[in-house]
Structure 1
Amino acid sequence: MVLRPHGGEKVRLMVVGRKRLPDAERHERHWGFVEAIADSAKDLEKGLRAQSYGTRTRGERTQPAARPAGEGVYAVTLEDGQMHLSFALELPAKPGEVQKAFRIAPEASYALSIKNPEKGKPVNAGLREEDEADYPRRLQEEFRGRRFAREDVRLLDFEGAEFILIGARSNPEAEYGLDLDTHDEDYQHAEVIRRLRMVKSRHPIKPLFEGRWA
């Protein structure tokens, strides 16, 4: 998923484990990490295109281009000392088969905690040490010796930052008094898709409106 702050240019490309968002109603817990940070959304688009690569046993392979499956608005808030990532979907207007498969709900909130890279990790879990975030001392101190930080969203502004998302609420606007300020959208005016330069010739949009699993 791509997060772009309102009124800002810096964007975060975040990878969520299990290839779907946590179920908010069941309070599922998923691990993830920040794959890329860019100064503008369009700088991420090249990495989302189709790519070909060679393998030893299977020859030339192709990784298909990323396809948009949802767009909306989000907010990162502090609720009783715990960061929460809340969002509301704008596109598609009504979630379909693809959105349900990826747990892209009409509205949801997740508790968001960021892992301390100096506190180790379970065996065979998480990123390799050389791929973990390398925080400057002033930000490393935000962990205060804890395994996770729960208060400072700036810790997500580094490639390799690892995090935990825990499903919290399915109606954050009512629960937390948020106004996520959604608008009726269509593909031609979808802000993030436009800023990412996700043209239909490179990034098929059927999953956004009428995706079906084969």
Structure 2
Amino acid sequence: MTTTTRSSAKERGNSTNEGAPPASKAGAGSKHKVEEGTKSPEPKRPKKSDEKEQKTIEETIGGSEQTKQEQQAEQQEQQEEIAKDSEKEDVAKAEKETATGDAEEPREDAKDIPSSILEKGIIYFFFRGRVGIDRPSDVDEIARSYIILRPIAKDAKLGSGPIGDAGNSRVCVVPKKVLPKTGKDRWISFVEKTGASFSELKDEFLKSNDYETKTAGTRHSPAATPVAEGVYAITSTGKDSHLAYILTLPDKLGEVQKEIGLKEKGSFIISTRNPQYEPPKNARIPKGPEYPKELLEEFRSLRWAPTQPRHLDYVNTQFLLVGESSGIAKALEQQKKDQKEGKNEPAEELEQLEEEDAQRMQDLDDDDAARIFADLQADAGHYPKLPTTF
């Protein structure tokens, strides 16, 4: 161990004097002398004021405590940041779930759904007043009526909360202002927008609009006014297709709803026009639907064909609404095949959907219009109230 210590000391000495001229060897017991021509060792450097001074034990302990407090404060700040980020993620997740339709829930008895129901979902009825008329006082002051269809999956049921935005809403225009009431009423309507998100509905359909004209100057197109909300089903009875609905809002039909042609439970025979034939002169639109070849072939030589839900997924699809004074009974007849297979009755299916929707809408708000606009993710304060009287 003594040899090792000396060796280390010798190495340190060699390292310190590296580059210095070698000193002459002295005999045993003689004093070391500085040879001529060698430099005297440099004097010890004075301590600079900016160098780190040695701290006392008390100062060191105090510094450690201060450092510990700073570390704790930093850790707490980091934890708060993590909590904030987590909260933001939870909010974003909730918004995403709402946006994709969290009111839709899977059903356990999906196998019992009747085949005659081709599509089901939520239906909204709106109208828009004529230019410059925000609050129509009668039907004559209405420019057009609208039907908005928001489909849901056939094997789904409605839970709580807003329906959510699946980006699959359709806006259908009824130029006649009112809905057909009997078989004598045959209105040609058309699809104005398909695959619409709720934000598109707010920006392009619901809100009012001011525009300039060369002859009349600034014109005002009023915001869309809600009239009713409910559930619907597009059904097939073999020969015909039907659009059946049951209203959820308002709870009781008012003068406005009756004048528009709405019923608590109603239906229409619905047929799609073959765009390969010329439309009636009083129902021309600038451009027809862009159907794919296979869809056009399904019409064969028919001018009108029973409406399939996929027909309504094309802008400018024209369809005929024929009133049914008998209500929804014919539209919701059970087919023999479904009866043999023990499927649910179509009427029971739609009534169950109406009950689910009624419960869902009650949880949204106390005001009918606010409920509808909450469903469409819009601020009800920016739009007209749901009227029951003119």
Q: Which TM-score tier does this pair reach, normalised by the shorter chain?
A: 0.7 to 0.9
Which of residues 120, 139, 154 in structure 1 aligns to 2:295? Answer: 139
Matches within 5 A, 1:3-152: 3-7=149-153, 9-24=167-182, 26-47=183-204, 48-128=206-286, 131-152=287-308
Conservation of the 8 A alpha-carbon contact between 1:43 and 1:196: no
Q: Does 66-75 or 179-188 show the bigger shift?
A: 179-188
> What is the distance in 1 between the residues matched to 2:301 and 2:195?
29
The yes-or-no answer on 1:163 pairing with 2:343 is no
Q: Deviations over 1:137-189 (max 9, x none)?
A: 11111211211121522111100000100012443157625231313344628
Aligned to 1:198: 378
Report the Cα offset of residue 27 of structure 1.
4.2
Gaps of 5+ in 2: 1-146, 154-165, 334-345
> What is the distance in 1 between the residues matched to 2:251 and 2:313?
30
Q: Deviations over 1:32-71 (max 9, x none)?
A: 0000012433322211210011122221011111111100
> Structure 1 residues 82, 193: CA separation in 2 closer, same or farther (over 3 Å shift)?
farther
TM-score (normalizing by structure 2): 0.49
> What is the distance in 1 between the residues matched to 2:195 and 2:383?
19
Provide the secondary structure at the position in 2 that maps to 1:84: strand
Provide the secondary structure at the position in 1 that maps to 2:321: strand
Provide the secondary structure at the position in 2 that maps to 1:5: strand
Q: Which has the higher contact order (CA 8 A, sep 6+)?
A: 1
The yes-or-no answer on 1:212 pairing with 2:389 is yes
Conservation of the 8 A alpha-carbon contact between 2:195 and 2:313: no
Provide the secondary structure at the position in 1 that maps to 2:226: coil
Conservation of the 8 A alpha-carbon contact between 2:194 and 2:314: yes
TM-score (normalizing by structure 1): 0.87
Identity of aligned residues (%): 33
Gaps of 5+ in 1: none
C-alpha RMSD over aligned residues: 2.2
Conservation of the 8 A alpha-carbon contact between 1:81 and 1:151: no
Give the helix-richer structure, 1 or 2.
2
The yes-or-no answer on 1:178 pairing with 2:347 is yes
- Structure with the greater alpha carbon radius of gyration: 2
Provide the secondary structure at the position in 1 that maps to 2:219: strand
